[in-house]
């Protein structure tokens, strides 16, 4: 009798295990437009990028991360406030925090200019922080020419990329561990959602089916990843090459107006982040127009393609625009607008 009871108990346990395993295998998920891309990829079995914040670190919070990104200063875990991360810049000096590209598959500066203008956002040198936690590489392309071996610790490591930006790009102090993880926590509040991918109906249906286990999951992963770039390309031009290129182009002053107002004035209006003031006065445009054909510090060709180096005793500077952030056509458009304003009655 005892032996029979043991067998029945053993069989009951096997049935419970089988039912539980079957439930796990057959678990399905409903696809929704607001679902996180990272969650969908995880469900489909994609590898984790390792970008999640370590919330076990004391003091980590998305709100403190938000403060650091926008203000460069945050409340400390033990009370009081941190020292300013940089005396010169905050993250939003060069980065937007909202989506800035209408199609995340491409780095198209003209499409970005039009889209950011519609959204009333600045047109900036650096890539938006929106969706940065979904990217796989950082400081791509020619940034190795600028930062040398420093990019090695940042290219495939989001934490290394944040620290490189804090110390070199922002010319500030290194972030403490809780500050770094807090910034990561905030960045996860602006990660990519399925609705950002602009999936067509067939792609959406295929992905929805894959989440229910009815279609190939590897193919579904490929569909998702084909809808956004895994890293922002960056190629630096030269002032000379841009001069040569724009001689063959016709400028659009209306487009140039958008660049001047949404990019140049973002930093230079009332010397917000710069030593050189720009405004809407005719004399300002006359000065810029007189310098445009050369290679001096006030030539738009020179400063856009090379940036402006730090002054003696001051570490702030102007970062350059990669070709993917401001094309030669847009540079010609900006020059046309400056010339128009310089000569207008």
Q: Are 228 and 275 in the same domain?
A: no
Give the Cα separation of 250 and 61 in Å (integer).
50
Q: Are 170 and 80 in the same domain?
A: yes
Question: Which residues, at least 6 apart from 91, have a Cβ–Cβ distance to it below 8 Å?
Answer: 68, 69, 70, 72, 97, 129, 165, 170
Q: Are 178 and 224 in the same domain?
A: yes
Q: Are 311 and 178 in the same domain?
A: no
CB 157 within 8 A of CB 139: no
Of 234, 250, 269, the last residue of a domain is 234
- Provide the pLDDT for residue 274: 85
Tokens 């079957």 belong to residue: 22
- Provide the pLDDT for residue 275: 84
Q: Is residue 74 part of a domain?
A: yes
Of 234, 266, 299, the last residue of a domain is 234
Of 234, 260, 278, the last residue of a domain is 234
- Provide the pLDDT for residue 12: 57
- Provide the pLDDT for residue 25: 37
Q: Are 213 and 283 in the same domain?
A: no
CA-nearest of 189, 185, 177 to 61 is: 185
Q: Are 217 and 169 in the same domain?
A: yes
What is the number of domains present in the chain?
2
Q: Is residue 100 part of a domain?
A: no
Give this prediction's pTM. 0.89
Can you give the residue range of the structural domain that contains 321?
Answer: 239-343
Q: Are 316 and 297 in the same domain?
A: yes
- Between 328-343 and 109-118, two packed helices, what is the crossing angle to 10 degrees? 60
Weakly modelled stretches of the chain, pLDDT under 50? 2, 17-26
Q: Are 151 and 190 in the same domain?
A: yes
Q: Is residue 120 part of a domain?
A: no
- Provide the pLDDT for residue 21: 42
Left if phi > 0, otherwise alpha if psi is -120 to 50, otherwise beta: which for 303?
alpha
- Provide the pLDDT for residue 67: 98
DSSP assignment of 280-325, as one string? S-HHHHHHHHHHTTS-STT-HHHHHHH-BPPPTT----BPPPPTTT
Give the Cα separation of 302 and 100 in Å (integer).
26
Q: Are 298 and 326 in the same domain?
A: yes
The domain spanning residue 282 has which CATH number?
1.10.760
CB 30 within 8 A of CB 211: yes
- Between 328-343 and 239-246, two packed helices, what is the crossing angle to 10 degrees? 70
The 10 Å Cβ neighbour count of residue 300 is 22
Q: Are 223 and 262 in the same domain?
A: no
Q: Is residue 272 part of a domain?
A: yes
CA-nearest of 313, 213, 220, 308 to 264 is: 308
What's the token pair of residue 280? Answer: 């809407």
CA-nearest of 156, 95, 124, 119 to 264 is: 124
């Amino acid at each position: 009798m005892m032996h029979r009871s043991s067998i029945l108990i053993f069989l009951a346990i096997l049935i419970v295990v089988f039912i539980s395993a079957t439930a796990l295998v057959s678990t399905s998920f409903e696809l929704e437009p607001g679902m996180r891309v990272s969650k969908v990829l995880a469900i489909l079995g994609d590898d984790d990028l390792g970008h999640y914040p370590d919330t076990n670190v004391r003091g980590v919070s998305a709100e403190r991360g938000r403060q650091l990104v926008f203000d460069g200063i945050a409340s400390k875990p033990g009370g009081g406030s941190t020292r300013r991360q940089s005396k010169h810049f905050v993250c939003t000096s060069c980065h937007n925090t909202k989506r800035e590209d209408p199609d995340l598959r491409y780095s198209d500066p003209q499409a970005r200019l039009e889209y950011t203008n519609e959204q009333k956002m600045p047109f900036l040198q650096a890539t938006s922080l929106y969706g940065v936690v979904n990217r796989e590489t950082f400081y791509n392309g020619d940034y190795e020419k600028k930062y040398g071996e420093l990019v090695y610790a940042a290219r495939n490591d989001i934490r290394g990329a944040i620290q490189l930006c804090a110390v070199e790009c922002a010319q500030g102090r290194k972030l403490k561990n809780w500050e770094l993880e807090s910034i990561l926590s905030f960045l996860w509040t602006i990660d990519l959602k399925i609705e950002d991918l602009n999936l067509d109906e067939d792609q959406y249906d295929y992905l929805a089916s894959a989440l229910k286990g009815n279609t190939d999951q590897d193919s579904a992963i490929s569909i998702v990843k084909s809808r956004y770039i895994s890293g922002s390309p960056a190629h630096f031009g030269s002032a000379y090459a841009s001069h040569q290129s724009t001689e063959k182009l016709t400028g659009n002053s209306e487009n140039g107006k958008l660049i001047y107002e949404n990019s140049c004035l973002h930093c230079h209006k009332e010397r917000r982040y710069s030593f050189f003031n720009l405004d809407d006065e005719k004399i300002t445009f006359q000065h810029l127009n007189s310098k445009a054909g050369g290679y001096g510090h006030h030539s738009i060709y020179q400063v856009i393609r090379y940036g402006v180096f730090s002054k003696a005793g001051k570490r702030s500077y102007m970062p350059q625009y990669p070709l993917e952030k401001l094309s030669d056509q847009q540079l010609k458009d900006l020059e046309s607008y400056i010339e128009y304003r310089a000569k207008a009655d």
